[in-house]
Amino acid sequence: MKRLYLGLETLLPICGLTLVLIAAPAAADQGDCGQPVSTGGGPTATDALFVLRSGVGLASCELLVCDIDGSCAITAGDALRALLIATGQALSLDCDLCGATTTTTTTTTTSTLPEPAATWDDVRAILGAAGCAVSGCHGSSNPSGGLGNLTNESSGYNELLNEDVFCGGSSYGSRVVPGAPDSSFLVAKLEGFYDCGSPMPLVGSLSPDDVAAIRSWILDGAPQN
């Protein structure tokens, strides 16, 4: 007599076959490490599938059974390890590394206040230290691009915000657009994303922190005080 296992605790004779229908459990039994379903000598492909379902939230399994790699979390990596072991790979079962059957994840959020935006005085100091206000660049003598006295508190500020840039016969708008660093010609020159004129500063470059400070000043509305 042949037996076909399907899934209810009932014997049904059908055409010479006895169907033994064994009801599947609502949840897998929690067995040894790597074996949430099987009870043999090691994990099977069925165990690997159950571990994978647990890793993606479709099933529930304790860490001491399904955390096969000892990472203190059930992931697809545990399922892969179970499958490799089931196919004969010499890998370890490390379910007990966490030392607990359950795990609690605590997320700590550190509240930090945003850095204050740079001031116009800060920006003048940064550009001055980079040599942007020397003669032949943006100093008072022979200023490049018509932008002189760059580090002057009043005239430098006025030329940055209130005078448009003309280069190669085209207008590029204001050098600084308050509130919009990505639309400001000054930022494009400092970051190397420009299509007219020379890089700024002409020799060397500003540090990322210096550029970020200038960006913060512009984003804050580029106030003069």
| Highest CATH level, class, for 31-98 | mainly alpha
CA 14 to chain CA mean position, Å: 59
DSSP conformation class of 36: S
Q: What angle do CA 182, 184, 189 make, to 5 degrees?
A: 95
Helix (H) or strand (E) run with residue 170 in it: strand 170-174
Q: What are the domain boundaries of the chain?
A: 1-26, 31-98, 120-219
Kind plus residue range of the DSSP H or E element containing 189: helix 185-191
pLDDT in tens, 94-107: 887 775 444 445 55
63: closest CA among 98, 106, 92, 38?
A: 98
| pLDDT tens track for 154-177 | 988 988 888 888 877 777 778 899
CA 201 to chain centre: 32
- 61-80 residue pLDDT tens: 988 899 988 888 999 999 99
Contacts (Cβ under 8 Å, ≥6 apart) of 78: 51, 55, 66, 67, 68, 69, 71
pLDDT band at 121 (very low <50, low <70, confident <90, very high): very high
